[in-house]
Amino acid sequence: MTARSSLPRTYRISPGRITGVLVATGLALPAALIPILADDLMPGWAKGLTVALLLAFVGWMVFAARHLSTSADLKGIRVRGYVRDRRIAWEDIQDIRAVPNPGAGMARGAPDTISYAYRRDGRRLQLFYVDDNHVRVDQEIGALRAAWEELRGEGWSEDAEAVRSIDRRQAREEAATTALSWSIMSVLGFIVLAVALLLTDSLFLGLHWFFAGPVLVFLAVWLVGRYRSR
């Protein structure tokens, strides 16, 4: 299959996920609005303004979910973002990669893998919906890379400095993700240790030091990762 036969390709949020967004919004809105409307101490104008801002924000979130998209054609890749559209020509792309999502553990239902197109200067452009929630990432990245390799032109050459910049950035993000995972896992350990020391009257440090423990674990693991990625 050639690039001409595999293009254009378009990636949007699936109808099922849009329905999920609408249902979740419908369930969450009353829970957010009732305390505001029931607050007798809040002036009427403040209630009205708060409700209007909340509804505007929710409406914008639903609009953004439907508006965001990624498409690829014979000229390059186009990404419709939150505010503006951006296009990058095939010859200006340095690489296309699928990478672990640093925010995967922060939001329920967030994809584990997301994708980027990297410019010649090392800057990156997220390819919305080219993720493991919506597509088979390996298959789609393979198709996009095949199109890029065919359409980037004979004069294209790899920029060694850009590749190093991309690799360093990915290594830093992986170090931060690893550090966050270790920090979260250490929370239970520090809680168990603090309780055990309290029960045996052996607590030799203030409890605030045990709450600071996960932060210290994060910093230690992150610094080691940064050092290794240099």
80-116 per-residue burial string, b: 16 or more CB within 10 A, e: under 16: beeeeeeebebebbbbbebbebeebeeeeeebebbbb
Q: What 3-state class would DSSP assign to 180? A: helix
pLDDT value, residue 133: 86
Q: What 3-state class would DSSP assign to 219? A: helix
CA distance 155 to 40: 69
Contact, 137 vs 98, CB < 8 A? yes
Rounded to the nearest 10 degrees, what angle do helices 44-67 and 15-37 cross at? 170
Over residues 69-109, the pLDDT tens digits come to 999 999 999 999 887 889 999 999 998 999 888 766 666 67
pLDDT value, residue 63: 77
pTM above 0.75, yes or no: no
Over residues 26-78, the pLDDT tens digits come to 667 777 777 777 777 777 777 788 878 877 877 777 777 778 899 999 999 99
For the residues of 78-114, what is the DSSP string, one character each? EEE-SS-EEEEEGGGEEEEEEEE-TTTTTSTT--SEE
Contact, 33 vs 54, CB < 8 A? yes
Over residues 178-218, the pLDDT tens digits come to 666 667 777 777 676 666 666 666 655 555 666 676 777 77
Over residues 141-163, the pLDDT tens digits come to 999 999 998 898 888 877 777 67
In the chain, % of residues over pLDDT 90: 18
